[in-house]
Chains A and B, each alone.
Chain A
Amino acid sequence: MGEEERNDLIDAFLDGHLAQPQVEAVEALMRTDPAFQSAMEEEKALREALGPSNVNAFLKVVKKVVEERSPERKKLARPVILRIALAAVLAGVLAAGWWALKPQSRSSEELFAQYFSPPANSKIFRDAEAGQTAAVEAPVQVAIDSLYYHGNNEEALLRLRAYGKHLSETPSSDYYFWLGILSLLNGQPDQALKAFSAIRAGYPYEKPWYIALSHLKAGRREQARSTFEAIAATDSPYQKDARAIIRSLAEGD
């Protein structure tokens, strides 16, 4: 049994999520496998020490009493705050220097700029012409046209939104996809995220990729990382890029 599997089994046992035969199997393992028994004890101690246990609730009360009756701590408070403030300023100066000199340091914005490229619309038109996919709706084409041939992203987004508002039925996935792309191009990652999330069909690889990029653009590195990790674990055309971004995110942490 691998460490991760053992960990899951112990959690399920302690959380009471196992059926009786599994409970008996765990109990047998505890009797016969010293490593398993040791891992179980460690998990129990961890829960008692860090979880919402009685002892932690008790310690909170004790700490409060001690702190209230500690005149020296109160006297020390001001110099400590001053020291912390000075340390913070110094740390800021050092961090700025480090940031300026660090060659590999990559911000979310930089990574986004490197990896975000608007999709080639020509493929969609080509496919549509060849009858391989449903034709892209005319207003969407107008928006794309405006974007690609005139480079006016703002106008393209306005047109697309206006079109969406007047639709009597739910907009298509193509609509949401281009709404997301245009929102990203206009620096609106939260709107983009909403749009990409609304895609119902098609775009199996593009949807998670652009959702991850929207998180990255918004500076939510943790969410971006988890989505890129999901992409990296699949057979996606974006797999290689997702892995490279994960590495860069790790370097920047």
Chain B
Amino acid sequence: MENPLLIKGLRDHDTTTIEYIFTRFFPMIENYVKSNGNGNRQEAEDLFMNALEVIYLKAEDENFELHSAFSSLLFEICKRQWLNILKRRKRTLPIASGQQPEVLEKDFQTAIETAERYQLYREKFRKLSEGCRRVLSLALEGLSMRDIAYKLGFASEGYARKRKFKCKQKLMQLVRMDARYPELMNHGRRRKK
């Protein structure tokens, strides 16, 4: 399948395209993760999903065109993320010179950071209490405070607003306490300069 078709498939959330990408390219990612840093299949699957998110974030831009091979890009993003994971686990990986990650286009570096930031939010969201997750989910779906109060049986719209604020504060507190947060924010600030 050619690059434009793959990108179109991703933009359209096309299952066949995603199945093709998985069947065709996942084995090399799995092999890399298992033979470098003693990773397992599940970790390789997580990397694969994260890498596709990065490419999707780029592909959302209609003017986006992919100039390198899709497989190389996918592999490089996975490699980059895997090395970051190992670094955070304080594990060094004996990398042969040929395995050094290539320099990705600046735009992709930005997309990786954005995706990592989203992943951090999702991870911390799952750690909130069920009540908080419900309030925030309804608010993110666009329900008014009045509707949220009604749906969750709160006494007033004001209470729903207060609860949502507290839950969001809690979420951001969890996000900011994570070791990855300063790194992600620094990348963001450097980009703006």
Whether B153 pairs with A66 at a CB distance below 8 angstroms is no
What mask results when residues 62 to 97 of chain A are scored 1 for a CB within 8 Å of chain B, else 0? Answer: 111110011011000000000000000000000000
Q: Within 8 Å of chain B (Cβ to Cβ): is A131?
A: no
Interface size on A, residues (CB 8 A): 40
Contact of A55 with B56 at beta-carbon distance under 8 Å, contacts A15-B142, A49-B118, A72-B41 already known = yes
Whether B165 pairs with A4 at a CB distance below 8 angstroms is yes
Whether B13 pairs with A58 at a CB distance below 8 angstroms is yes
Q: With A and B bound together, what is the CA distance between A72 and B40 in angstroms? A: 10
Chain B 118-153 residues near chain A, CB threshold 8 A: 118-119, 121-122, 125, 129, 131, 136-137, 140-142, 152-153
Interface size on B, residues (CB 8 A): 46
Whether A230 pairs with B165 at a CB distance below 8 angstroms is no
Selected interface stretch from A20-28, A103-111, A139-147, A219-227: A219-227
Cross-interface CB contact of A7 among B13, B19, B117, B168, cutoff 8 Å: B168
Cross-interface CB contact of A52 among B48, B49, B140, cutoff 8 Å: B140
Q: With A and B bound together, what is the CA distance between A45 and B181 in angstroms? A: 13
Whether B53 pairs with A59 at a CB distance below 8 angstroms is yes
Q: Within 8 Å of chain A (Cβ to Cβ): is B42?
A: yes
What mask results when residues 38 to 49 of chain A are scored 1 for a CB within 8 Å of chain B, else 0? Answer: 000110011111
- What number of A-B contacts does a CB cutoff of 8 Å give? 98
With a cutoff of 8 Å between Cβ atoms, the chain B residues found around residue A208 in the complex are 155
Whether A230 pairs with B60 at a CB distance below 8 angstroms is no
With a cutoff of 8 Å between Cβ atoms, the chain A residues found around residue B22 in the complex are 65-66, 69
Q: Within 8 Å of chain B (Cβ to Cβ): is A235?
A: no
Interface positions of B (Cβ within 8 A of A): 10, 13, 15, 18-19, 22-23, 26, 41-42, 45, 48-49, 52-53, 56-57, 60, 114, 117-119, 121-122, 125, 129, 131, 136-137, 140-142, 152-156, 159, 161, 163, 165, 168-169, 171-172, 188
Interface positions of A (Cβ within 8 A of B): 3-4, 7-8, 15, 41-42, 45-52, 54-55, 57-59, 61-66, 69-70, 72-73, 208, 215, 220, 222-223, 226-227, 229-230, 253
5 tightest CB-CB pairs across the interface, nearest first?
A49-B118, A51-B140, A49-B121, A223-B153, A226-B155
Task: Identify 9 new A-B residue pairs, CB closer than 8 A, beyond the known A226-B159, A226-B163.
Answer: A42-B172, A49-B117, A49-B122, A51-B141, A52-B141, A55-B53, A58-B53, A227-B155, A230-B156
